[in-house]
Amino acid sequence: MSDFGVTDDGFVLKPVDRILSEAFERARAVFDDIDLTETSPLRKILEVTAAEDGELWKRMEDLYYGNFVSTASGDNLDLLGEDMGLARPHLPSTGTVRITLDGGAPGRRYVVPEGTILVTAAPVRAFAATAAVTLDATQQTTTVDVVAFEPGPDGNVAAGAIAAVDPTYRSTFLADLGTATLTVTNPKATSGGDKVVPDDTYRARLAGLARNLWTVESVAQAALGVSGVLDVVLSDPLGGVDVSQSYFGTFAFDQRAFSSEARRIGEPYFFNVLVAHDSRAPWRTIGPVQGIFERVTAAVDTVRPVGVHPNIVEAIHVKVGVRAKVVVQPGSDGAALLASIRQRLATDISSLRLGGDVLYSQVVRAFVTQPGVVDVRQLHLRRSPVTSGQSVAIEAEVGENLVMGPTELAIFSADGDVLDIALVTS
């Protein structure tokens, strides 16, 4: 068996020096008293051809690994995804809108919350504000970034196309505006909807693609395929069992497919689908934006067996942050350092899944790995209150983790009461 090419260990690339040495051997076998010194014309020709052969070997390696989801990339990964029935998803379009307050009462502040639904004229394209903004009589105009609710090229709209707050959203969540009005426009066209998700994201989706229709994995896959869904957990049932049911304790939901082993045909069975979603996406349908609940229900209905009914449950989204004193080197750019810390915390915490704890050590690492940070002191992890009636953040002791419940998903918050970082010079 050859040491190069397709082997039991995969594809082994033949190095250029090996290709060149083999070319020298063939030349010596053909010609007598051949000159292969550094200045030899024949050697130069063989070096050029060896370099070309090296590129061919690289191409063969790409072709080989392009046959597997775990190693394919680019167009090869697209072809594999199409064969598996899951085309590469598009990214949502993004842009910036300008919001102007008209008729505001003197001395009063008006808050336009994160997730506010902004719409175009027909055909309606809906966008969500990515941050909350505050307007008053002294600051009547501000800008905020927006992202399309639905990914794809349709979200790329022309300048001036985003023209209003959705009327249903305004009447439900902005009723306290009173006689004040909001004027909305996008100075520049939105863009990015024609782009697709990167290889790593697409590869992870394909690697987790269920090959079986009537399984827990296929239900979770259907729910995760809904744009805006961050994580899904299926349970039997979530938050306590109904011991009054005759089938209590007889269905190993997490161990087998829905089958006649667990129930009789025609006998209904209920399970819970816990869904964590992007906080900007509405849980129930509002105006032109279909809710996560309705979309997940429709997606799960396509794969659930007859008589097996889902109970779609919204996860608890817990905003988390920190209070800390950060010691930095003299001359450090405080604004840039804070922005870098926030970005690292947002990245680390966004990787958590439902029920995943926010680890103290993980947060400390987000601080101390930043250039210019000498030490971090009095670091407390914080979470927003879940129960009503509380208005201040709940703070853990120094060194304690933030323990999430099975129905909770940690979401990093860069504003509000949960983030308080002070920089001091060493």
pLDDT (tens digit, 9 = 90+) per residue, 262-314?
A: 445 555 677 788 999 988 889 999 988 999 999 999 988 888 777 778 889 99
Residue 297 lies in a domain: yes
Which of 120, 37, 93, 44 minimizes the C-alpha distance to 288? 120
Evaluate whether residue 76 is within a structural domain.
Answer: no
> Is 177 a member of any domain?
yes
- 74 within a domain of the structure (yes/no): no
What tokens were used for 201? 């994201």
Please tell me the total count of domains within the chain: 4
Q: Which pTM does this prediction carry?
A: 0.67
In a domain? residue 72: no
Residues 321 and 421 in one domain: yes
Calculate the average pLDDT of the chain. 83
Indicate if 127 and 219 belong to the same structural domain.
Answer: no
Domain coverage including residue 137: 94-185
Instruction: Report yes or no on 323 lying in a domain.
Output: yes
DSSP-assigned beta bridge partners for residue 231: 276
Of 151, 185, 219, which residue sits at a domain end?
A: 185
With respect to residue 16, please indicate whether it lies within any of the assigned structural domains: yes
Same structural domain, 308 and 335: no
Boundary residue ending a domain (256, 279, 314): 314
Say yes or no: 371 and 413 in one domain: yes
The answer on 277 and 342 residing in a single domain is: no
Question: Can you give the pLDDT at residue 258?
Answer: 46
Last residue of a domain, one of 284, 314, 344: 314
Residues 221-275 pLDDT 10s: 888 888 889 889 887 654 434 444 555 555 554 554 444 444 455 556 777 889 9
Strands 229-235 and 269-277: antiparallel
In terms of C-beta density within 10 A (0-12 exposed, 13-18 middle, 19 or more buried), how is residue 327 classed?
A: middle
Predicted confidence band of residue 94 (pLDDT cuts 50, 70, 90): very high
Indicate if 326 and 401 belong to the same structural domain: yes
Q: Are residues 172 and 111 in the same domain?
A: yes
Per-residue pLDDT, 154: 92
**Percentage, residues of the chain above pLDDT 70:** 88
Rounded Cα distance, 93 and 100, in Å: 22
Q: Express each pLDDT in 329-376 by its tens digit.
A: 888 888 888 888 888 888 888 888 888 999 999 899 988 888 888 888
Is there a contact between 116 and 169 (Cβ–Cβ < 8 Å)? yes
Out of 6-15, 98-107, 321-330, least confident range: 6-15
In a domain, 194, yes or no: no
